[in-house]
Amino acid sequence: MARGSENIDIKKSQIHSKGVFAKRNIKKGEFIIEYVGEIVDKKESDRRLHASLERHKKDSTHAFTYIFELNDTWDLDGDTTPNDAKYINHSCDPNCSFQIKDGHIEICAAREIPQGEELSYNYGFDVDEDYEDYQCQCGAKNCVGYMVAEEDWPELRRLVEKTREKKG
């Protein structure tokens, strides 16, 4: 069991499939759970990511990928071990953040989180040619439609507008 699993419940989510919910009130800045998995190099990470995308494109479902970037050399695949944190969904208005310390990924409260609230963080994907593969379903008032890092939202909006102009 991952460190922190006693803080959360896994239940059906309004955002996507399963979600992670606070078992108790959680204070801002408090550690919630560690995201655990197998550490793999970038080449293996890319292979797993593309295999997952291809598999899910064939059956028209959302791609499930649990790859977390640790640094320029290594990633962590959270789909290889018991890892309740992998069910934390993306949100454009998240209540959690993550920090990477010595190869460990800690999920912490970005604000006060009341018992029963679904946990979320911004997955922080880059704006690249594959951004459309990661559509957001968070329902937040400020949702940009894709699981893209907030600092990339201006570029995302530009790309979305450019795509609309091509189709329109």
114 CA to centre of own chain:
21
Assess contact for 131 and 163: CB atoms under 8 A: no
pTM above 0.85, yes or no: yes
The pLDDT, as a whole number, for residue 21 is: 98
The pLDDT, as a whole number, for residue 129 is: 66
Which domains occur in the chain, in start order? 5-36+82-124 (2.170.270.10)
The pLDDT, as a whole number, for residue 61 is: 56
148 CA to centre of own chain:
10
Q: Distance between CA atoms of 156 and 153, rounded to whole angstroms?
A: 5
- Please list the pLDDT of the chain residue by residue as tens digits (168 residues): 567 788 899 999 999 889 999 999 999 999 999 999 999 999 999 999 888 777 767 765 555 678 999 999 999 999 877 899 999 999 999 999 999 988 899 999 999 999 999 999 999 988 876 788 788 999 999 999 999 999 999 999 999 888 888 876
Burial of residue 14 (CB within 10 Å: 0-12, 13-18, 19+) is exposed
Identify which of 23, 26, 2 has the alpha carbon closest to the alpha carbon of residue 97. 26
- CA 130-98-105 angle, 5° bins: 95
Tens-place pLDDT, residues 55-104: 767 765 555 678 999 999 999 999 877 899 999 999 999 999 999 988 89
The pLDDT, as a whole number, for residue 134 is: 85
Q: Distance between CA atoms of 116 and 100, rounded to whole angstroms?
A: 26
The pLDDT, as a whole number, for residue 64 is: 67
- With a CB cutoff of 8 Å and minimum separation 6, the contacts of 24 are 7, 115
